[in-house]
Amino acid sequence: MKLLKYVLVICFVFISAVGRADEGMWLPQLLAKLNESHMKSLGMKISASDIYSVNKGSLKDAIVSFGGFCTGEVISDKGLVLTNHHCGFGSIQDHSTLDHNYIRDGFWAKNHGEEIPNPGLFVTFIVRIEDVSNKVLAGVKDEMSENERQSQIDKNIAAIRKGVKKEDYQDSFIRGFFEGNQYFMFVTETYRDVRLVGAPPSAIGNFGKDTDNWIWPRHTGDFSMFRIYAGKDNKPAAYSPDNVPYVPKRSLAISMDGVKEGDFTMVFGFPGRTMEYLHSAAVDQTVRVNDPTKIAIRDKALAVIDGYMRKDEQIKIQYASKYAGISNAWKKWQGEVLGLTKTNAVAKKQAYEAEFQKRVNANGALKSKYGDLLQQLELAYKELEPLGLQRDYFNEVFSKIELFSISSQLNQAMNAQGKDNYETILKRTQDRLKGIYEEYNAEVDRKLFAALMEVFYQGLQDYKLPDSFTKLLKDAGGDFNKMAENIYAATTMDEEQKTLGALETDAKTRLEQHKTDVAANLFSDLLTYFSTTVSGQLNEAQDKINRLQRDYMRAQMEVFREKTFYPDANSTMRVTYGKAMSYEPRDAVKYEIYTYLDGVMEKYKPGDYEFDVPEKLRELYAKKDYGKYGANGKMPVCFIARNHTTGGNSGSPALDAYGNLIGLNFDRAWEGTMSDINYDPSICRNIMVDIRYILFIVDKYAGAGHLVKEMKLISKKK
């Protein structure tokens, strides 16, 4: 046993020394201090201050948070923004009708006048980043409860933000890093007039759809284009037809040279969330409990929706983005479980913990602070397990049954009755219900109810569910389909006219009915069950873990002084860098770094939902008509590298050693989707669409060459 541990530690230390090479999501303002020499040793030809500077224009001035959920970058001095097709999809869908089906056919504005506004869409630039840890943590004491601590922090944050030096049109926010051991402030500039400029047809922008999602080799042209508009003074302004294209401080130059194996690449963007510093017990729980539970529930949901989408065109349109969302995480979790298992993530963490404990025990001061920290963490995760499982069941099941979303909206209006803001809430309820019904089919929802309630019941057999639930099931003779039929026959929430319609003619009467609606009551009983028997304990357990993980994070940094730590992703601006690199997913198989248009044609299935290829693209391929965008007679499509990315990095620019744009990040490869928890350089790869393919589609396929003329194209080869 001892020997085994020893071997594991050796393995780990070895792996981590090599592996750290390309791991990490780094804060741009700290690159000069922490990463510059490493980046240069990997081949970077620019300096850290070319990437981030507050005194001069730098690359960061060309990067935006796109709508708060993706990344985008400015690629012309007229405010042209590039992001993914799946990031712009909401806008593309909003403007699509049966006559102008931009999802199916694509869309290209021929001039500024044809660019389409998108109410609600915004892009945010980062002006500067400051360490405000001392001020945020002032007055925070160890003995405080998590609640006390948070309210002290909130108070400090409010005060700091009030005093921040910034222009009127700028804003600021403060975020915790390293589990709340450090705090940084971001001064931002947000533009809210962002117009759709162009998008390829889905057969290019989402080629391969769900089958190819998370998979390398990939052949998707996952891009779309927008333009930022500003007031005449170039400052942020609400939408107005008088607004003008924004003139950026910086736009990215585009390299036509691509990369080759081993070349330096970096990705600059807004990664959402990672968990790299968990206790092994947490990783074990993810693999054994949480991921499998969520996957099993989504299996059922997807089977129901897919069955209907395949046979009904209307349902296919209505449920397309819901389906894509459910399946995206479902597929990722499966890859995550495989990857964590294959790379022995739990054993690796355990070996790391053994080394941590050894060093702590050997040092009196560390021992008194952190001597039993790991033990406490393990216990806390044990306590969390049953609660986390129930949370997963509730979250997964409830978010997929629309009857419950409808009920939740009606509850809000009902509870607002007699209050000052009633009219506002009622209006909001109506708007949201409208949105829900647009993508709603009662039969699909009823089948989802039956399928998901059954998993829910089976999964939570050890717990005492509310009486109303068991009674409804008993009345249906224990048959979930029958139970669903009874409920959907009795409720009126499944009918738009009887709900939204009735709300518009006589809200009072409709809200009165809601009080006796069988589905509404079931929903509220289940919510009460959750809030009385789960959420209190769950929050307590989670608070305990947050506190312990915060200590553990600090402890790791004290104990492993030889390591350079990067903070987990938290939707703030990061730089990640690494080499373009092939990999071996399994025995005797090697994946190269580039895919080509030839591969699109290999996958081509005429008329197929996922793998059809537009005629024009087939023609261009047949004639090898790639213009200046081809390379050695071939058309590069996608490529991979060892950049450490996650959700939110979609639309992030991939830059070469000179900081020139070479591609657009949009996915990760299947074998490495566990990188959110355990990055492993041997199999973790991010997937980017080559900028030359994007330009080829814009220019040769869509005939929108005027957009390419706005950009700055460079080549060192020619």
# residues contacting ligand ARG (CB under 6 A): 12
Query: Counting contacts by CB under 6 A, is residue 645 touching ligand GLU?
Result: yes
Sign for the CA dihedral angle at 285, 291, 294, 295 comes to negative
Query: Counting contacts by CB under 6 A, is residue 263 touching ligand GLU?
Result: no
Among 648, 659, 663, 681, binds ligand GLU (CB under 6 A): 648
Query: Counting contacts by CB under 6 A, is residue 611 touching ligand ARG?
Result: no
Query: Counting contacts by CB under 6 A, is residue 649 touching ligand GLU?
Result: yes
Query: Counting contacts by CB under 6 A, is residue 86 touching ligand ARG?
Result: yes
For 279-332, give the DSSP string: -HHHHHHIIIIIHHHHHHHHHHHHHHHHHHHHH-HHHHHHHHHHHHHHHHHHHH
> CB–CB of 270/573 below 8 Å?
yes
Looking at residue 421, its amino acid is N
Secondary element (H or E) of residue 123: strand 123-131
Query: Counting contacts by CB under 6 A, is residue 327 touching ligand GLU?
Result: no
Residue with CB nearest ligand GLU?
650
Query: Would you state the structure tokens that stand for residue 436, as one six-digit string?
Result: 């829900």
Which residue stretch of 22-30, 489-497, 629-637, 647-655 sits at the interface with ligand GLU (rule: CB under 6 A)? 647-655
Alpha-carbon gap, residue 713 to 708, rounded angstroms: 8
251 contact, one of ligand GLU, ligand ARG, none, CB 5-8 Å limit per kind: none
476 contact, one of ligand GLU, ligand ARG, none, CB 5-8 Å limit per kind: none
Query: Counting contacts by CB under 6 A, is residue 125 touching ligand GLU?
Result: no
Q: Which is nearer to ligand GLU, 199 or 555 (CB)?
A: 199
How would you classify the pairing of strands 636-641 and 653-655?
A: unpaired
Query: Counting contacts by CB under 6 A, is residue 214 touching ligand ARG?
Result: yes
Among 200, 466, 647, 672, binds ligand ARG (CB under 6 A): 647
| Active site members | 86, 222, 650
224 contact, one of ligand GLU, ligand ARG, none, CB 5-8 Å limit per kind: none
Which residue stretch of 46-54, 258-266, 648-656, 694-702 sits at the interface with ligand GLU (rule: CB under 6 A)? 648-656
# residues contacting ligand GLU (CB under 6 A): 9
Task: State the minimum distance, in angstroms, from the CB of residue 545 to ligand GLU.
Answer: 24
DSSP 357: H
Query: Counting contacts by CB under 6 A, is residue 650 touching ligand ARG?
Result: yes
Alpha-carbon gap, residue 226 to 125, rounded angstroms: 15
Query: Counting contacts by CB under 6 A, is residue 290 touching ligand GLU?
Result: no
Query: Counting contacts by CB under 6 A, is residue 91 touching ligand ARG?
Result: no
C-alpha dihedral (467, 473, 476, 481), degrees to nearest 10: 150
Q: What is the CB neighbour count within 10 angstroms for residue 403?
A: 25
Q: Which is nearer to ligand GLU, 391 or 668 (CB)?
A: 668
Residues in contact with 687: Cβ distance below 8 Å, sequence separation at least 6, in sequence order: 216, 218, 638, 639, 640, 665, 666, 667, 668, 669
How would you classify the pairing of strands 254-255 and 713-714?
A: parallel
648 contact, one of ligand ARG, ligand GLU, none, CB 5-8 Å limit per kind: ligand GLU
Among 189, 402, 551, 667, binds ligand ARG (CB under 6 A): 667
Q: Which is nearer to ligand ARG, 89 or 456 (CB)?
A: 89
Query: Counting contacts by CB under 6 A, is residue 243 touching ligand ARG?
Result: no
324 contact, one of ligand GLU, ligand ARG, none, CB 5-8 Å limit per kind: ligand ARG
Query: Counting contacts by CB under 6 A, is residue 675 touching ligand ARG?
Result: no
> CB–CB of 637/15 below 8 Å?
no
Indicate the burial class of 18 (C-beta count within 10 angstroms; 0-12, 13-18, 19 or more): exposed
Which among 190, 67, 64, 170 has a CA at the least distance from the CA of 118? 67
Among 73, 115, 189, 210, binds ligand ARG (CB under 6 A): 210
On the CB side of 146, how many CA atoms lie within 13 Å of its CA? 15
213 contact, one of ligand GLU, ligand ARG, none, CB 5-8 Å limit per kind: ligand ARG
Task: State the minimum distance, in angstroms, from the CB of residue 219 to ligand ARG.
Answer: 12
124 contact, one of ligand GLU, ligand ARG, none, CB 5-8 Å limit per kind: none
Alpha-carbon gap, residue 645 to 652, rounded angstroms: 9
Which residue stretch of 202-210, 309-317, 432-440, 690-698 sits at the interface with ligand ARG (rule: CB under 6 A)? 202-210
For the chain, what's the residue count?
718
Alpha-carbon gap, residue 544 to 154, rounded angstroms: 19
Query: Counting contacts by CB under 6 A, is residue 221 touching ligand GLU?
Result: no
Which among 504, 401, 490, 522 has a CA at the least distance from the CA of 452? 401
> CB–CB of 667/687 below 8 Å?
yes
Binding mask 281-310 for ligand ARG (x = CB under 6 A): ------------------------------
Q: Which is nearer to ligand ARG, 188 or 206 (CB)?
A: 206
> CB–CB of 574/270 below 8 Å?
yes
Task: State the minimum distance, in angstroms, from the CB of residue 534 to ligand GLU.
Answer: 29
C-alpha dihedral (13, 17, 18, 19), degrees to nearest 10: 80
Alpha-carbon gap, residue 563 to 237, rounded angstroms: 45
Among 149, 175, 209, 219, binds ligand ARG (CB under 6 A): 209
Alpha-carbon gap, residue 246 to 267, rounded angstroms: 24
Among 647, 653, 663, 672, binds ligand GLU (CB under 6 A): 647
Strand partners, 713: 254
- Residues from 654 through 673 that contact ligand GLU (CB under 6 A): 666-668
For the packed helices 402-416 and 507-514, what is the interaxial angle rounded to 10 degrees? Answer: 120
Secondary element (H or E) of residue 268: strand 264-269
218 contact, one of ligand ARG, ligand GLU, none, CB 5-8 Å limit per kind: none
- Which residues would be at the binding site for ligand ARG (CB under 6 A)? 86, 206, 209-210, 213-214, 324, 328, 647, 650, 666-667
- Which residues would be at the binding site for ligand GLU (CB under 6 A)? 645-650, 666-668
